[in-house]
C-alpha cells in the first residue's frame, strides 16, 4: 500500500462542513463502543448494522448525512480498538491491555469507495454525501494521475493546525531492485549522537524540540494570558492557540523528515542492519531523560527503517540491548560504566574505544549470531521469518521474506564474515 497526502484548498464554509462530518464520525465510533460495553458477544457485523440503525433513527437525523461506507469505516475503527484489547488480553500482555476509550477530539473522517470523486486531471476532488461539501483543489507534490480511482481504496480527510489534508490509500506494491554487496552494520541509538554505527560513523542529533523551546514558551505564555476562565474565548485567544499548535506541528514534521531521510540513507548503503530493540515506553519514565528521549524520535526512525528495508529487500534484525554497553566487543569482559563515562577501557585486553562504538559492535555481533543460528536451523527448509528465542532473551522484530532472501545471500554473507568467529558465537 502507498499513502499519498495532499492539502485541501477550499472555502471556510467547506471546512466547517468537514468539521461537522468529523464530529459525526466521532459520534458513530463512540456509539459503537458504548453498544459493545452494554451488550455481550458483540461482533464486527453487529457494529456495522448499528450504523444503519443510527441513520434511520429520528433522534439522530444528522448521522444520515455521512456517507454509508464512511459510517462503516468509523464502526471499523471502534472494532479495531476492541479487537486489539482482546488480543492483548489473550496474549497476556504485561501492564495495561489498552481498553478502548471514547474519543473527545477526533480530527479525521474516512471514506471508502463512495462519497468522493477525483477530477480527470487529478487536481480536484468532490465530496457528494449529505454534507454537500462540494469540490476542493488538491495541492501535492505527488502526481495522482498515475493511479486509477479503482486503485485508491480509501480517502481520509485530516484536520491539522495549518489546514485540511486528504490522504489517499493506493493499492500499489512498491519495490526496488538492489545488488547485494555484503555490507553489514550495527547501530547504537543515543542522545549525544542520534546513532553510532559499528564502522565508527555517527549521525548527529538535531534536538528540534530543544532548539524551539524558547519560542514555544513565548507562545504558551500568550495562550495563557489570553485565556479567560469560565467565559467564551476571544479571537485573540484562538489566534494564539493556533500559532502554538503550528509550532508543535513544525517540530513533529522536522522529526519525521529527519527519521525518514536517515533510515533511507542507511538502508540504501547496507544489506544487513542490526539495531537494539529499546523499550522506549519504559525509558521515558525517567523524568530526567524523558524530554531528550522523546525529542530523539528513536521509535519513528526504527519504523521507517523496517518500512524501507521491505521495499529495498534488506535484512533488518532487532536485538535486546542488554549488556551491549557493558560488554567488551573484543574479549567479552564486563566493564561497568556510568552515564557520564564516554570511553570504553577494558582492563583485560587493553582496548580503548568510544562507548557508543563498542555498543554498536556488540549489537552487530548479537544480530549476526542470531542470523547464523537461524540459517543453520532452517537451511533447506521453507519458513516465514525469525521467531523469538526466550531462552536466550533475544527477539527479532522482522526479517525480510524469511528463507527466500536469507538463503539466496548465504554464500555472500559467509564470504564477507566468518560465522565461527568467537566474537559472534560468544554466549550472552
Spatial contact of 379 and 410, defined as CB atoms under 8 Å apart: yes
Q: Cα–Cα distance between 215 and 217 in angstroms, integer?
A: 5
Residue among 145, 173, 194 at smallest CA distance from 6: 145
Burial of 57 (0-12, 13-18, 19+ CB in 10 A): exposed
Within 8 A by CB and 6+ apart from 399, the residues are 315, 316, 317, 371, 374, 385, 386, 405, 406
Separation of alpha carbons 81 and 87, rounded Å: 10
Spatial distance between the Cα atoms of 315 and 370, rounded to a whole number of angstroms: 12
Cβ-Cβ contacts under 8 Å for 244 (sequence gap 6 or more): 216, 219, 220, 222, 223
- Residue 352 three-state SS: strand
Q: Which of 359, 414, 421 is nearest to 200 (CA)?
A: 359
How do 124-127 and 343-345 pair as beta strands?
unpaired
Active-site annotation, residues: 188, 276, 356
Cell of 39: 451488550
Torsions phi, psi of 398, nearest 5? -160, 140
Q: Could you tell me where the beta strands, DSSP code E, fall in 163-247? A: 163-170, 184-189, 193-197, 202-204
Spatial distance between the Cα atoms of 38 and 30, rounded to a whole number of angstroms: 12
In whole angstroms, what is the distance from residue 86 CA to residue 418 CA?
45
Which single residue is written with the C-alpha cell 541509538? 189
- In the numeric block, which cell numbers belong to residue 127? 465530496
Amino acid at each position: 500500500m502507498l499513502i499519498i497526502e495532499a492539502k485541501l484548498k477550499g472555502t471556510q464554509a467547506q471546512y466547517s462542513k468537514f468539521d461537522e462530518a468529523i464530529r459525526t464520525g466521532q459520534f458513530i465510533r463512540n456509539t459503537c463502543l458504548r453498544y459493545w460495553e452494554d451488550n455481550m458477544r458483540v461482533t464486527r457485523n453487529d457494529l456495522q448494522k448499528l450504523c444503519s440503525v443510527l441513520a434511520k433513527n429520528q433522534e439522530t437525523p444528522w448521522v444520515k448525512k455521512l456517507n454509508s461506507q464512511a459510517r462503516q469505516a468509523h464502526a471499523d475503527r471502534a472494532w479495531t480498538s476492541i479487537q486489539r484489547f482482546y488480543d492483548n488480553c489473550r496474549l497476556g500482555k504485561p501492564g495495561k491491555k489498552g481498553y478502548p476509550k471514547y474519543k473527545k477530539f477526533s480530527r479525521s473522517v474516512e471514506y471508502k469507495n463512495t462519497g468522493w470523486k477525483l477530477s480527470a486531471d487529478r487536481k480536484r476532488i468532490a465530496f457528494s454525501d449529505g454534507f454537500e461539501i462540494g469540490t476542493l483543489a488538491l495541492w501535492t507534490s505527488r502526481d495522482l494521475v498515475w493511479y486509477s480511482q479503482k486503485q485508491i481504496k480509501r480517502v481520509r480527510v485530516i484536520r491539522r493546525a495549518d489546514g485540511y489534508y486528504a490522504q489517499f490509500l493506493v493499492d500499489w506494491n512498491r519495490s526496488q531492485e538492489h545488488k547485494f554487496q555484503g555490507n553489514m552494520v550495527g547501530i547504537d541509538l543515543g542522545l549525544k549522537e542520534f546513532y553510532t554505527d559499528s564502522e565508527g560513523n555517527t549521525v548527529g542529533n538535531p534536538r528540534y524540540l530543544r532548539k524551539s523551546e524558547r519560542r514555544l514558551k513565548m507562545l504558551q505564555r500568550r495562550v495563557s494570558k489570553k485565556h479567560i476562565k469560565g467565559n467564551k474565548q476571544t479571537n485573540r485567544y484562538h489566534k494564539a492557540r493556533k500559532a502554538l499548535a503550528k509550532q508543535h506541528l513544525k517540530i513533529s514534521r522536522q522529526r519525521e523528515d529527519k527519521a525518514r531521510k536517515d533510515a533511507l540513507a542507511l538502508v540504501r548503503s547496507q544489506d544487513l542492519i542490526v539495531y537494539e530493540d529499546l523499550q522506549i515506553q519504559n525509558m521515558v519514565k525517567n523524568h530526567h531523560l524523558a524530554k531528550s528521549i522523546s525529542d530523539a524520535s528513536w521509535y519513528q526512525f526504527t519504523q521507517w527503517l523496517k518500512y524501507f528495508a521491505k521495499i529495498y529487500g534488506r535484512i533488518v534484525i532487532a536485538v535486546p540491548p542488554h549488556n551491549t554497553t557493558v560488554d567488551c566487543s573484543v574479549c567479552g569482559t564486563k566493564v561497568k560504566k556510568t552515564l557520564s563515562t564516554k570511553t570504553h577501557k577494558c582492563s583485560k585486553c587493553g582496548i580503548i574505544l568510544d562507548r557508543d562504538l563498542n555498543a554498536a559492535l556488540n549489537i552487530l555481533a548479537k544480530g549476526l549470531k542470531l542470523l547464523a543460528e537461524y540459517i543453520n536451523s532452517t537451511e533447506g527448509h521453507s519458513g516465514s521469518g525469525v521467531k523469538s528465542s526466550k531462552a536466550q532473551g533475544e527477539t527479532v522484530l522482522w526479517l525480510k521474506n524469511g528463507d527466500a532472501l536469507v538463503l539466496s545471500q548465504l554464500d555472500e554473507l559467509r564470504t564477507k564474515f566468518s560465522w565461527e568467529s568467537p566474537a559472534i558465537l560468544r554466549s550472552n
